[in-house]
Amino acid sequence: MEFLSRLLSCFSKRESERICYSRNTTNSSRKKHSSTLSERNLCRHFSLRELQLATKSFDQTSIIGIDCFGIVYKGCTNNGATEIAINRYKKEDYTRWLHTFKNEVQFLCQLHHPNLMSFIGFCDDQNELITVYEFVANGSLHDHLHRPNKAEPLSWRRRLEICIGTAHGLHYLHTGAKIVIIQRDMKTENILLDKNWMPKIASLNLYKKESDTDGMSKTKKLVGMNSRHVGTTGLIDPEYAVVGKLTEKTDVFAFGLVLLEVVTGKPTSRQILEENDIDRIMDPFLKEKTAPECWQT
């Protein structure tokens, strides 16, 4: 835990100012019509036909991911000039998720940061619920740390740059948006890397922080159609485990686990978390390629 605390201190940033938000936002303001979103240039309203053309009619060869909520396809638009990731939810869930989908689109199109997955647009034609994001070419940080394809290990410099970029993205969610946003599922699988190795926080299952009349903080689900476990299985923010309330600290703790995984090159376990001897847990590749003084604090 001591080593993890030292890692976190390297990335900590004082929050000098928090952007305030109004609690008087009406329900109608959050339920904008899809045409209104397009007219305001917040995002693109794709037709189903456009996405069929982009994916060869949702051909199996275009599939890049599957989960219990739907299928993710890789596609091309703008005459092949732009690669996109197309998240197509199951059609049988249309009625169940339509309201949530509208809120998700309304909110995601207002988030803009180089270290967040760029939300491009959506499709709600013919009982379809589809969201469209930028496509990132280099997979996830998890893939490169654990190298299932035996790829070249990431250098320490590159790992550090990825961690710093990810910290910037989290800082934006906590302080730079119109409301305080909690990512809730920060892990290496949800840090994607573009062709220039810039990290992009993905799977934005977002919660907003509010305050009760007694001043106590609480959270309210904002967007995201799933209800996943908070953080890494078996290793969650101790404060959340006791109190049951999501805060920015939940993300910070999870980010600390990401840092530990980056340094060790191994999935984080309680044994690793409690180990204070860096030489025993460091990724052997880093030990060979970095000078000892790089690890002094």
Q: Give the per-residue SS3 of the chain.
A: CHHHHHHHHHHCCCCCCCCCCCCCCCCHHHCCCHHHHHHCCCCEECCHHHHHHHCCCCCHHHEEEEECCEEEEEEEECCCCEEEEEEEECHHHHHHHHHHHHHHHHHHCCCCCCCECCEEEEECHHHCCEEEEECCCCCEHHHHHHCCCCCCCCCHHHHHHHHHHHHHHHHHHHHHCCCCEECCCCCHHHEEECCCCCEEECCCCCEEEEECCCCCEEEEECCCCCCCCCCECCECCHHHHHHCCCCHHHHHHHHHHHHHHHHHCCCCCHHHHCCCCHHHHCCHHHHHHCCHHHHCC
**Closest by alpha carbon to 245, among 165, 182, 176?**
182
pLDDT tens sequence across 238-263: 777 777 778 888 899 999 999 999 99
Rank 5-14, 153-162, 275-284 by mean pLDDT and report only the highest. 153-162
Higher pLDDT, residue 180 or 217: 180
Measure the CA–CA gap between 185 and 250, rounded to whole angstroms: 9
Query: The tokens of 286 are what?
Result: 């880093």
Mean pLDDT of the chain, nearest integer: 79
CB 107 within 8 A of CB 206: yes
Which residue of the set 124, 185, 251, 283 is catalytic? Answer: 185
Higher pLDDT, residue 39 or 148: 148
At residue 232 the predicted structure's pLDDT band, cuts being 50, 70 and 90, is low
For position 195, what pLDDT does the model report? 94
Residue 17 has pLDDT above 50, yes or no: no
For position 37, what pLDDT does the model report? 55
Task: Say what the pTM is.
Answer: 0.78
Per-residue pLDDT averaged across 125-151, rounded?
90
At residue 222 the predicted structure's pLDDT band, cuts being 50, 70 and 90, is low
**Closest by alpha carbon to 248, among 200, 198, 206, 214?**
206
Q: Please, what are the domains in the chain?
A: 2-17+137-295 (1.10.510.10), 31-134 (3.30.200.20)
Active site residue 124: no
Neighbours of 188 (CB within 10 A): 21
